[in-house]
A and B are shown apart, each in its own frame.
Chain A
């Protein structure tokens, strides 16, 4: 177990190093306008002097080494165009709490909606009266999965704000304006939880131990709650850390749509303003979140599911 974790950690760190290097090298290929807020007005000599000052004329490898060193010390650099000269860390520190708040709420909401929906859909497999839930859930899941998120968020924003009689944009002071972004962000995960929980539960329902439990006289309710649900939820746990971490960064699209001052909206902003240093850092942060989320998910699985043993898996092929 400890060896497995060590192995995964090393792999994750190597992966991160590769990702950071690749992103860094790629962003160096961008036009140099992205390092100045008033490029058009600058003299060519000044531009060259500033580039030298920022160390952008050094060999790529020297730059990369310096960048990695700065990252290790927690120095994320300064913004070039978004808000000139401000350390990126300072900007992020104001953005993360907002995203965290909204993201956690949306995650809680999607669990609250998705898990009962999945259970209801799975239950309607056993009881023929409750077929309605399966139909409703299927339509919902197909809709959310098939229609691009970019489209239904727009409509939810427009019609939702009209129905709730609130502003289309997010405002920290008005709690009512929080409802729609949180709902928007949770829809995708809700469908995800419902779809997979239903599938895993139906798989479990077809297993022999369920038949045995029913033969013993255990009520359907208890079979579902004690056996089927618990076993079916284990594979879902793997997804939780990733979705938790993505809440920190917020949904890029939704935050930008409602102009929420969070990380996701920030990424769209700095891309539109072509702020190279900030795009670079944000892309790296998002990739880190992906890596760390998968790592935590796997570890949580090992910790929770006794059936998974990695000692065997290491040798097996």
Chain B
């Protein structure tokens, strides 16, 4: 190959311009010899200390925001897989019931532990039968005074009144809901009163119940009396809504499932959908794009197909396919992949059409570089930025589409937790005190989508050889 160049050069110098064409003799076997493709020679000529991936990485590292978000995202994705393995996690779809009443623990606000209240030492409590060696079910609810039943106020202590009613004595909260009718000077006890609503009577001036339900305390912290019906706290005691330590960090939802577990399980589902859509889009898109760009005979047909597919709004395809097929993760992935690959294929095709006949590619081909080498070394670096950008944007796009499809009512069944499901359930509670059921899923979702968007853009910029210094 090197010899070829020198021969032509000599000929050009020697011959007068007009006779150049005739001056080149028919191929002389002594002057030319066939050179097979030689890998080591190719490396030697192609060598420079410029490394494409190294430069791309350096350009990416120059963007602190993108790097920080990449760390956040990596940690978050890793955590979604680690979370079920951590100790003390509730299964995502488990409906948590109160052990005694068997009612669902619905809409428990976010807490770090199950402890609802702290009772000081010496607090008298009523013990309820609960068969557990470690935990006891306790309450300080003596009973309920029915509405419009007269009771006697024995002691007045501001927010709390000590009353006696029907032989029992206890404390009653004195707030506007009770509407206790008080005479002019409330400290002038005893006097009679009555309420228009049923009033809870407690053993001590504190409400140690969870909406009327029993709380749980360690047996070690209590001194039970012989009958097992009442107890006194020995030391300061945590009263818990459940007989275990693990709290509901994100609270529970309306049917008593742990939102923390649900959010991470939903994130897994949504990320799975996102990654699958991105992979399928990239796989089919790159394949079709290369075929489209390289096989000239197929160009017309594929362009026509593209024109048809590109005209249909993606949302409508998504809606139609989800409407027709049974709702499942697979359906969603299929519906989202059905048209998105078209855009990727067009990008690849356009790039290949532009690049394939450039001089350096022509040269490579003339020098006998095999097709895989041309694709990997000459074409891929120009395509990587676009491919990565589209993949990175496909993931938040897919997650967003899932939320949308769930809202329409064509999404995953509630038994499969996903961010779309959680947001759709939480949406109805935004104006209530249970708005945390929307806030937590949306925070996680926004972190994921914003990170992918920023990282994708940053990576696309740094993968573009034009931006390499």
Which residues of A does B touch, CB under 8 Å? 11-12, 14-15, 18-19, 23, 26-27, 29-30, 142-143, 145-151, 154-155, 158, 162, 168, 252-253, 256, 267-268, 271-272, 279, 283, 286-287, 289-291, 294, 317
CB atoms of B323 and A279 under 8 A apart: yes
The CA of A253 and the CA of B313, in the complex, are separated in Å by: 15
CB atoms of B315 and A291 under 8 A apart: no
A26, closest chain B residue (CB): B324
Distance from B78 Cβ to chain A, minimum over Cβ atoms (Å):
21
Distance from B464 Cβ to chain A, minimum over Cβ atoms (Å):
15
Q: What chain B residues lie within 8 Å of A256 (beta carbons)?
A: 407-408
A291, closest chain B residue (CB): B311
- Scan residues 299-328 of chain B and give those whose CB is less than 8 A from a CB of chain A: 299, 304, 307-308, 310-313, 315-316, 319-320, 323-324
CB atoms of A148 and B404 under 8 A apart: yes
B316, closest chain A residue (CB): A286
The CA of A19 and the CA of B313, in the complex, are separated in Å by: 11
A14, closest chain B residue (CB): B308
Of the residues B320, B323, B403, B454, contact of A151 by C-beta under 8 Å: B403
Q: What chain B residues lie within 8 Å of A145 (beta carbons)?
A: 453
Distance from A2 Cβ to chain B, minimum over Cβ atoms (Å):
20
The CA of A151 and the CA of B310, in the complex, are separated in Å by: 26
A-B contact pairs, 25 of them (CB 8 A): A11-B307, A15-B311, A19-B308, A142-B453, A148-B399, A148-B403, A148-B404, A150-B403, A150-B420, A151-B400, A151-B403, A151-B423, A151-B442, A154-B442, A158-B430, A256-B408, A271-B319, A271-B323, A271-B408, A271-B409, A287-B311, A289-B313, A290-B311, A291-B311, A294-B310
Extra contacts, 15 of them, besides A146-B450, A271-B323, A294-B311 (Cβ < 8 A), are A15-B308, A27-B320, A27-B324, A29-B324, A30-B323, A146-B453, A147-B445, A148-B404, A150-B420, A154-B438, A271-B410, A283-B316, A286-B313, A287-B312, A290-B311
Distance from A146 Cβ to chain B, minimum over Cβ atoms (Å):
4
Distance from A87 Cβ to chain B, minimum over Cβ atoms (Å):
22
CB atoms of A30 and B324 under 8 A apart: yes
The CA of A142 and the CA of B450, in the complex, are separated in Å by: 7
Q: What chain A residues lie within 8 Å of B401 (beta carbons)?
A: 148
Given the known inter-chain contacts A148-B403, A150-B403, please indicate yes or no for A158 contacting B454, CB distance below 8 A. Answer: no
For the complex of A and B, 5 pairs with smallest distance between CB atoms: A148-B400, A146-B453, A150-B403, A146-B450, A291-B311
Assess whether B427 is interfacial by the CB under 8 Å rule.
yes
Given the known inter-chain contacts A271-B323, A287-B311, A287-B316, please indicate yes or no for A150 contacting B431, CB distance below 8 A. Answer: no
Assess whether B245 is interfacial by the CB under 8 Å rule.
no
CB atoms of B313 and A15 under 8 A apart: no
CB atoms of B400 and A149 under 8 A apart: yes
B304, closest chain A residue (CB): A11
Given the known inter-chain contacts A253-B407, A267-B319, A290-B316, please indicate yes or no for A148 contacting B449, CB distance below 8 A. Answer: yes
Give the number of residues in B that approach A within 8 Å (Cβ atoms): 39
Q: What chain B residues lie within 8 Å of A294 (beta carbons)?
A: 310-311
Q: What chain B residues lie within 8 Å of A14 (beta carbons)?
A: 308
Q: Mark B392-415, 1 if CB is under 8 A from A, else 0.
A: 000010011101100111100000
- Scan residues 223-245 of chain B and give those whose CB is less than 8 A from a CB of chain A: none
- Scan residues 185-236 of chain B and give those whose CB is less than 8 A from a CB of chain A: none
CB atoms of A23 and B320 under 8 A apart: yes
Assess whether B446 is interfacial by the CB under 8 Å rule.
yes
CB atoms of A290 and B312 under 8 A apart: yes
If over half of A's interface residues share one DSSP class (helix, strand or loop), that class is named, otherwise mixed; here it is helix
- Scan residues 411-466 of chain B and give those whose CB is less than 8 A from a CB of chain A: 420, 423, 427, 430-431, 438, 442, 445-446, 449-450, 452-454
The winner among B404, B408, B410, B450 for most chain A CB atoms within 10 A is: B408
Given the known inter-chain contacts A146-B450, A253-B404, A287-B313, please indicate yes or no for A151 contacting B445, CB distance below 8 A. Answer: yes
A288, closest chain B residue (CB): B311
The CA of A18 and the CA of B420, in the complex, are separated in Å by: 32
Q: What chain B residues lie within 8 Å of A30 (beta carbons)?
A: 323-324
The CA of A184 and the CA of B258, in the complex, are separated in Å by: 32
Q: What chain A residues lie within 8 Å of B442 (beta carbons)?
A: 151, 154-155
Q: What chain B residues lie within 8 Å of A19 (beta carbons)?
A: 308, 311-312
The CA of A291 and the CA of B309, in the complex, are separated in Å by: 10
A270, closest chain B residue (CB): B323
Distance from B267 Cβ to chain A, minimum over Cβ atoms (Å):
14
- Scan residues 263-315 of chain B and give those whose CB is less than 8 A from a CB of chain A: 299, 304, 307-308, 310-313, 315
Of the residues A15, A253, A317, contact of B307 by C-beta under 8 Å: A15
The CA of A80 and the CA of B295, in the complex, are separated in Å by: 48
Q: What chain A residues lie within 8 Å of B409 (beta carbons)?
A: 268, 271-272
CB atoms of B319 and A146 under 8 A apart: no
Q: What chain A residues lie within 8 Å of B454 (beta carbons)?
A: 142, 146
Q: What chain B residues lie within 8 Å of A151 (beta carbons)?
A: 400, 403, 423, 442, 445-446
The CA of A253 and the CA of B438, in the complex, are separated in Å by: 18
Q: What chain A residues lie within 8 Å of B316 (beta carbons)?
A: 283, 286-287, 290
Distance from B410 Cβ to chain A, minimum over Cβ atoms (Å):
6
The CA of A11 and the CA of B300, in the complex, are separated in Å by: 13
Distance from B421 Cβ to chain A, minimum over Cβ atoms (Å):
12
The CA of A11 and the CA of B311, in the complex, are separated in Å by: 11
The winner among A146, A154, A256, A279 for most chain B CB atoms within 10 A is: A146
CB atoms of B430 and A155 under 8 A apart: yes
Q: What chain B residues lie within 8 Å of A18 (beta carbons)?
A: 308
Given the known inter-chain contacts A19-B312, A29-B324, A290-B313, please indicate yes or no for A150 contacting B319, CB distance below 8 A. Answer: no
The CA of A253 and the CA of B399, in the complex, are separated in Å by: 16
The CA of A19 and the CA of B320, in the complex, are separated in Å by: 12
The CA of A149 and the CA of B407, in the complex, are separated in Å by: 12
Q: What chain A residues lie within 8 Å of B308 (beta carbons)?
A: 14-15, 18-19
The CA of A142 and the CA of B69, in the complex, are separated in Å by: 14
Q: What chain B residues lie within 8 Å of A162 (beta carbons)?
A: 431
A292, closest chain B residue (CB): B311
Distance from A238 Cβ to chain B, minimum over Cβ atoms (Å):
14
Of the residues A12, A147, A290, contact of B446 by C-beta under 8 Å: A147
The CA of A12 and the CA of B396, in the complex, are separated in Å by: 31
The CA of A279 and the CA of B321, in the complex, are separated in Å by: 12
The CA of A149 and the CA of B312, in the complex, are separated in Å by: 20
- Scan residues 131-169 of chain B and give those whose CB is less than 8 A from a CB of chain A: none
Q: What chain B residues lie within 8 Å of A267 (beta carbons)?
A: 319
B311, closest chain A residue (CB): A291
B296, closest chain A residue (CB): A317
Q: What chain B residues lie within 8 Å of A15 (beta carbons)?
A: 307-308, 311
Q: What chain A residues lie within 8 Å of B396 (beta carbons)?
A: 146, 148
Q: What chain A residues lie within 8 Å of B438 (beta carbons)?
A: 154
Q: What chain A residues lie within 8 Å of B423 (beta carbons)?
A: 150-151, 154
CB atoms of B445 and A148 under 8 A apart: yes
Q: What chain A residues lie within 8 Å of B410 (beta carbons)?
A: 271
Given the known inter-chain contacts A151-B423, A290-B313, please indicate yes or no for A146 contacting B449, CB distance below 8 A. Answer: yes
The CA of A23 and the CA of B321, in the complex, are separated in Å by: 10
The CA of A27 and the CA of B323, in the complex, are separated in Å by: 9
The CA of A17 and the CA of B214, in the complex, are separated in Å by: 67
The CA of A184 and the CA of B403, in the complex, are separated in Å by: 17
